Structure formats: structure tokens, C-alpha cells
Amino acid sequence: MKTLQSTLLLLLFVPLIEPAPPTQQDSRIIYDYGTDNFEESVFSQDYEDKYLDGKNIKEKETVKIPNEKSLQLQNDETITPLPPKKENDANLRRLDFTGNLIEDIEDGTFSKLSLLEELSLAENQLLKLPVLPPKLTLFNAKYNKIKSRGIKANAFKKLNNLTFLYLDHNALESVPLNLPESLRVIHLQFNNIASITDDTFCKANDTSYIRDRIEEIRLEGNPVILGKHPNSFICLKRLPIGSYS
């Protein structure tokens, strides 16, 4: 009886005491001392808040798609931007304008063709050469009217991949300057080349220099007498084709 009476007294006084706001740690204890109706009402209210309130559901389930500006504000470590696309760039590897009546080509004509490897301007009416793409391996401008003044001093200097150069049947008075080390074949036959120097193909101040990549140089049909310039070929493994007497 004492135990039951104590329990009844406790139940009478509990409603008179205002419970303190529950914390996350002791919320389970408050439910133990409360009534079944209190626990059910809390659960019911929580259920309604989460699942029965249509407005609340929309607010919680709505996914906002970030716009372009918000993406830019995010951390660079989480978003890697794509490299910018260069407009007007072309992926051409070979161009052939052989057999036209082209008289002039502006310097910027091939500026966007950064991947071009082979270019033929043969059999036209050109008097000078334009600026050439940097990755050329073959350049053909034979059968034109190109003179030496129509080729800039550094026209071929930075073409480090150039392997085949065809400038035969033009009006050149001298061999173009600063020909790249990568060249294997040089055709200059049937021009107006009258002389060459020790620096034309070799290095006058370096007798140990060997230009071992060149396989063929053609100079026949020019007024130059190759036999008068023996030091011009000491770096070559093969003598140029042409007149020696």
C-alpha cells in the first residue's frame, strides 16, 4: 500500500510541475515520466510536421539547381573548369593549293592552322612566301616566281619539324637563310642561285659540326659552280646534286 500510495501522490503532483525544456540527451527520460497521451501527441505532431504539411514537404524536397554564377563561387577543388575552346581553330593536317593562279597570300592566312603538317602552294604565281604554320613537316612551293627578297630571313628558322622543302623552279638568287636542322630533303634546282657560302649549309666557325640528317640537296640548273665552294659541304654526308665545273 505504501508503494502504491506514494505512486499515486507522485502522479497527482507531476501535472503541477512545469517540465523544463527537453534537451537532446534527456528527451527519453521525460517521455518515461510523462503519460502515454503526451508521448503520442508529440509523435503525432512531429509526424504532421514532417509528412502531412504539404508546404513543408515542398520546401524540404525542392532541389535548387545552381546557376552559372553560383558555380563560379564554389571551391575550385570541387569543380574543375573545362579548358577554354579556341574559336576558329582548325584541325587540318594537309592543304593542297597546287595548280591555281594565286599571286599573293597574306601573312595571317595560316595563323589559325596550328596543327597543319603539309602545305603545297606549287604551280602558282607567287612572288613571296607568307608566314608558315609552326608544325609543318612538308612545304612545297615549286614552280612559282618567288625571288630571294620574297622570303624573310627567319621564314624557316622556327620550323623545327620541317623535313621536306621544295622551292625548285623559282627565281631565287640565293639559298634561303636559317634552314632548320630537321631538314632531310632540300630541292632548289632551276633557280638563279649564283653562289653559296660556308654558312649556307654548314658552320664556318665550327669544323666539327656534322649535319647528318640531310639526305638530298639538289642545285642543278643554277649558275653556281659547286666545285668552287668545297668548304660549303664539309658538314654533309652527301654532296649536293649540281654542277662542279
The domain that contains 169 carries what CATH number? 3.80.10.10
- Confidence tier at 6 by pLDDT (50, 70, 90): very low
Number of helices (H) and strands (E), helices first, in the chain? 5, 6
C-alpha cell of residue 113:
592552322
Q: Is residue 77 part of a domain?
A: no
Which range marks the domain in which residue 223 is found?
89-244
Q: Is residue 75 part of a domain?
A: no
For the ranges 4-18, 51-65, 74-88, 141-155, the maximum mean pLDDT occurs at 141-155
> Is the model's pLDDT at 52 over the cut of 50?
no
Q: Is residue 5 part of a domain?
A: no
Number of folded domains in the chain?
Answer: 1
Q: What is the C-alpha separation between 238 and 70, in angstroms, rounded?
A: 66
> Is the model's pLDDT at 192 over the cut of 60?
yes
Q: Is residue 54 part of a domain?
A: no
8 A C-beta contact, residue 211 and residue 182: no
**Model confidence pLDDT, tens digit, residues 93-132:** 999 999 999 999 999 999 999 999 999 999 999 999 999 9
Q: What is the C-alpha separation between 194 and 191, in angstroms, rounded?
A: 9
Distances (CA, A) of 167 to 33, 118, 126, 206: 103, 14, 12, 28
Residue with more model confidence, 218 or 56: 218
Q: Is residue 73 part of a domain?
A: no
Provide φ and ψ at 94, rounded to 5°: -145, 135
State the pLDDT at residue 60.
Answer: 39
- Average pLDDT value for the chain: 76
Q: Is residue 163 part of a domain?
A: yes
How much is the pTM?
Answer: 0.64
Burial class (CB in 10 A: 0-12, 13-18, 19+), 222: buried
Q: Is residue 176 part of a domain?
A: yes
Contacts of 139 (CB under 8 A, 6+ apart): 118, 119, 120, 132, 159, 162, 164, 165, 166
8 A C-beta contact, residue 223 and residue 192: yes
Q: What is the C-alpha separation between 71 and 78, in angstroms, rounded?
A: 10
C-alpha cell of residue 74:
564554389
**Model confidence pLDDT, tens digit, residues 145-184:** 999 999 999 999 999 999 999 999 999 999 999 999 999 9
State the pLDDT at residue 217.
Answer: 97
Q: Which of 186, 185, 140, 131 is nearest to 159 (CA)?
A: 131
> Is the model's pLDDT at 20 over the cut of 50?
no
Q: Is residue 221 part of a domain?
A: yes
